[in-house]
């Protein structure tokens, strides 16, 4: 973490602050891994956006999250089911089915989460596999969404009125290895993101998947929270806070 610490120290010396936010995908049930994430985020008062898959989401999950002030629920597609043909990248919200059908599923998914997690949901759509057909995006505000969150390195530009794109830039999991990226690589990547985004106050999104974490992933998150929660140049924020730096 020395590389990241040095970059945050430079921000502090320049009077700048960096905003981080945390998104964790694929929640459906209360598991030991989810409990570990909830405890870790709670220990350091880290706001957690939990992307919940609407259709398989269990009522017990809603009960568990009800009294946790540091957790919000985002809509993670519909059933996290791939509809792309063999040979194409996986997509649930792609152009492989009629747009009206896909939009109806998105609407039903959000309605189910709103009913299951009263007062806990935020108007954010997180497409499974971070992919959504371009022709669907302009309709998201009609379905009540204020934010679209995928994955990307550049500050996104969303031309749709009343819709803001708030992406994650760092996935702590190496999906080819199904393991955490090396900590040195993650810290260096975050330091680079801080250099790029601090001057324009663009938020830095950290993406995790509690069900896929190895021990190294948990250690990295704990170290990251410990460092940033205490640093004068770092802030963790909710989407509704506007991510002002």
Could you state, in order of their start, the residue ranges of all structural domains in the chain?
Answer: 2-238
Per-residue model confidence as pLDDT tens digits over 109-128: 999 999 999 999 999 999 99
DSSP state of 168: B
Per-residue model confidence as pLDDT tens digits over 184-234: 999 999 999 999 887 777 899 999 999 999 999 999 999 999 999 999 999
The Cα 132–Cα 119 span in angstroms is 26
To the nearest 10°, report the CA torsion of 95, 78, 70, 12: -10
Q: How far is CA 223 from CA 6, 27, 41, 71, 240, in A?
A: 15, 23, 12, 20, 26
- Provide the phi-psi class of 134: left if phi over 0, else alpha when psi is between -120 and 50, else beta: alpha
- The pTM assigned to this predicted structure is 0.94
Residue 242 pLDDT? 54
- Give the CATH fold of the 2-238 domain: TIM Barrel (3.20.20)
């Amino acid at each position: 973490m020395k590389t990241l610490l040095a970059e945050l120290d430079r921000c502090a010396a320049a009077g700048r602050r960096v905003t981080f936010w945390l998104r964790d995908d694929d929640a459906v049930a209360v598991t030991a891994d989810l409990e570990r994430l909830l405890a870790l985020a709670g220990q350091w008062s880290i706001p957690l956006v939990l992307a919940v898959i609407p259709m398989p989401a269990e009522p017990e999950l809603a009960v568990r999250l009800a009294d946790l002030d540091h957790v919000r629920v985002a809509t993670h597609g519909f059933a996290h089911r791939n509809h792309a043909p063999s040979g194409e990248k996986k997509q649930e919200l792609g152009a492989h089915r009629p747009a009206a059908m896909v939009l109806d599923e998105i609407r039903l998914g959000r309605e189910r989460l709103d009913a299951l997690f009263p007062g806990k949901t935020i108007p954010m759509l997180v497409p499974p596999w971070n992919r959504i057909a371009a022709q669907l995006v302009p309709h998201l505000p009609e379905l009540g969404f204020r934010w679209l969150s995928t994955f990307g390195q550049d500050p996104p530009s969303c031309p749709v009125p009343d819709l803001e794109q708030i992406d994650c830039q760092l996935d702590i999991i190496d999906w080819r290895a199904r393991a955490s990226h090396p900590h040195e690589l993650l810290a260096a990547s975050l330091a680079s993101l801080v250099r790029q985004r601090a001057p324009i106050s663009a938020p830095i999104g950290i993406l995790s998947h509690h069900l896929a974490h190895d021990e190294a992933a948990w250690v990295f998150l704990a170290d990251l929270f410990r460092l940033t929660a205490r640093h004068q140049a770092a802030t963790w924020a909710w989407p509704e806070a506007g991510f002002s730096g």
